[in-house]
């Protein structure tokens, strides 16, 4: 239960620095006091669901822990959500308290919120609203973009989330991590659990710069040079990345002829499949990267490679808090205490969650992923192809930022590609990928596209493309691309 998290915090020396942000640090004693005071305020206002829409900061962490301490449900709101998505999440959850650094935007949503006051630089808003029906024991509601791009609320238990954090601590107990830098938005469950709860359990300091200071540029992309500068100044032992950030940082280090700061002992990457070539390139520039795998429904991290037993090409062994099985159709099933159900959906009928991911366990228990069940492409020649495999190879090319491979019932595959820089010719990059693929899996044609992002509804918060939305937007262009191809171009 969450008591384990608060017990770990209570055991820390009063003067130990736990949270650090620009211009301010919070010792264990100060953090405990802030949590208690904010929890009392939540209880004073009889908060049922506390939404937080704010940049990374110590106050974000305090709000998260205070909601847990007060017995309220925490609703983290990603800053990249559109106004429509924000209204949807607030309506679905019936959030009655909102802590934010975007007060004007929240009031303009016309969702009935009124200002109550301030808390450490954030505005507290409240509204009167009838409660939503939530599964018993819900401590956090994490919204993920579904296949249609419409956010889907996942109800999670505190016990399951702390299980994940404790399993990470156990798995990495021999890695000297005393200083973690939060690079991903805290509203993403991966950073929230692995980058806040796990460091708290092991007594590490969590460093919380503003996202813009780390190189996040919203619709303008990401500046890896700024990340390299910050990591060099902060000297963290660990960071968590998604593949897109890992690639950008790796390419920047190579271009600058620099290496990652020597302080880094562990770099975790997850959220989407990584090509082995990218992992090797990252290691070559000094990034001690280890791939993992997880799902929001399972409390985030499920499998993880670790120093000494790292097996590139796999996502590591299952952590001890989950039970993982692969069925006869190679679909991965996971049992954990985290998942309680979806908002506005019937309660799950089984403790085991069918992930929709396809993979296999090798003889040593390492999990190897091959794709998503719903994404499997069956070509006109009856070839079954997991697009994730080819997309990972495309994304390993320096010129390509994002990729979606299509070809259902077609004679050949095609790709929608987002270049790292506008007007970059991707011909050579596609040719390099094709040279390493069997004939039936090669890209027959491609289109250059504008970036897929959460704001335009074409990517999830961790950068994963939303296929159905992308195919809907580019359907006519793909039809034209296939119409222009001659049947003779297809290699059997």
Domain with residue 324: its CATH number is: 3.40.50.12780
3 state DSSP class of 140: strand
Domain residues for the domain of 41 are 3-368
What's the total number of domains in the chain?
A: 2
Between CA 489 and CA 97 the distance in angstroms is: 59
For residues 196 and 261, state if they share a domain.
Answer: yes
> Region 233-246: what's the mean pLDDT?
94
Checking if the pLDDT of 398 tops 70, the result is: yes
| Shared-domain flag, residues 104 and 232 | yes
Highest mean pLDDT among 81-95, 190-204, 452-466, 470-484: 190-204
Q: Residues with Cβ < 8 Å from 334, sequence gap 6 or more?
A: 295, 298, 302, 322, 323, 324, 325, 352, 353, 355
Query: What tokens were used for 343?
Result: 């908002």
- Domain end among 368, 390, 405: 368
Same domain, 173 and 253: yes
- 383 and 268 inside one domain: no
Residues 141, 27 within the same domain: yes
How far apart CA 239 and CA 190 sit, in angstroms, is 11
Report how far residue 409's alpha carbon sits from residue 406's, in angstroms, rounded to the nearest whole number.
10
What is the greatest pairwise CA distance in the chain? Answer: 73
Same domain, 362 and 422: no
Local confidence band at 373 (pLDDT 50, 70, 90 cut-offs):
confident
Q: Around Cβ 320, how many Cβ atoms within 10 Å? A: 11
Q: Are 180 and 238 in contact (CB under 8 A)?
A: yes
- The overall average pLDDT reported for the chain is 91
Cα–Cα distances in Å, from 173 out to 60, 166, 454? 26, 10, 35
22-31 tens-digit pLDDT: 999 999 999 9
Query: Residue 128: what are its φ and ψ, rounded to 5°?
Result: -95, 125
Give the model's pLDDT for residue 217. Answer: 85
Residue with tokens 């205070």: 66
Closest CA to 470 of 424, 394, 428, 414: 414
Identify the burial level of 108 via C-beta atoms within 10 angstroms of its C-beta, where 0-12 means exposed, 13-18 middle and 19 or more buried: exposed
Phi and psi angles of residue 292, each rounded to the nearest 5 degrees, phi first = -135, 180
**Mean pLDDT (whole number) for 125-149:** 85
Residue 487 pLDDT > 50: no
427 shares a domain with 295:
no
Mean pLDDT of 377-383: 73
């Amino acid at each position: 239960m969450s008591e384990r998290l608060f017990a770990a915090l209570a055991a820390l020396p009063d003067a130990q620095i736990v949270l650090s942000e620009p211009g301010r640090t919070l010792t264990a004693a100060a953090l405990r006091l802030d949590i208690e005071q904010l929890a009392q305020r939540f209880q004073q206002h009889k908060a049922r669901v506390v939404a937080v829409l704010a940049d990374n900061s110590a106050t974000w962490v305090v709000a998260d822990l205070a909601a847990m301490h007060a017995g309220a449900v925490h609703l983290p709101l990603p800053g990249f959500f559109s106004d429509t998505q924000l209204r949807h999440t607030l309506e679905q959850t019936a959030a009655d308290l909102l802590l934010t650094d975007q007060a004007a935007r929240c009031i303009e949503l016309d969702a009935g919120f009124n200002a109550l006051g301030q808390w450490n630089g954030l505005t507290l808003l409240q509204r009167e609203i009838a409660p939503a029906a939530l599964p018993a024991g819900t401590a956090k509601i994490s919204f993920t973009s579904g296949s249609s791009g419409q956010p889907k609320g996942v109800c999670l238990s505190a016990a399951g989330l702390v299980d994940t954090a404790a399993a990470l601590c156990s798995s990495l107990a021999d890695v000297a991590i005393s200083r973690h830098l939060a690079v991903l938005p805290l509203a993403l469950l991966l950073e929230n659990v692995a980058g806040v709860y796990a460091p708290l359990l092991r007594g590490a300091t969590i460093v919380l710069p503003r996202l813009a200071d780390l190189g996040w540029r919203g619709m303008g992309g990401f500046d890896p040079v700024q990340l390299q500068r910050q990591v060099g100044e902060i000297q963290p032992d660990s960071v968590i990345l998604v593949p897109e950030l890992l690639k950008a940082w790796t390419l920047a280090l190579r271009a600058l002829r620099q290496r990652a700061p020597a302080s880094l002992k562990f770099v975790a990457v997850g959220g989407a499949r990584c090509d082995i070539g990218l992992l090797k390139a990252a290691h070559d520039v000094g990034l001690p990267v280890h791939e993992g795998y997880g799902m929001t429904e399972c409390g985030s991290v499920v499998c993880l490679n670790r120093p000494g037993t790292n097996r590139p090409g796999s996502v590591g062994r299952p952590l001890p808090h989950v039970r993982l099985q692969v069925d006869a159709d190679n679909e991965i099933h996971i049992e954990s205490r985290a998942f309680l159900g979806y908002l506005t959906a019937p309660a799950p009928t089984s403790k085991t969650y069918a992930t929709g991911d396809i993979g296999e366990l090798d003889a040593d228990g390492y999990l190897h992923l091959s794709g998503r069940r719903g994404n499997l492409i069956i070509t006109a020649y009856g070839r079954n192809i997991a697009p994730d495999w080819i997309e990972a190879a495309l994304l390993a090319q320096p010129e390509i930022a994002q990729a979606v491979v299509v070809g259902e019932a077609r004679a050949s595959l095609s790709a929608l590609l987002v270049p790292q820089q506008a007007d970059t010719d991707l011909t050579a990059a596609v040719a390099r990928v094709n040279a390493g693929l069997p004939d039936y899996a090669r890209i027959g044609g491609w289109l250059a596209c504008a970036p897929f992002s959460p704001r335009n509804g074409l990517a999830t918060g961790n950068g994963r493309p939303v296929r159905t939305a992308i195919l809907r937007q580019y359907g006519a262009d793909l039809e034209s691309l296939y119409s222009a191809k001659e049947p003779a171009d297809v290699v059997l």
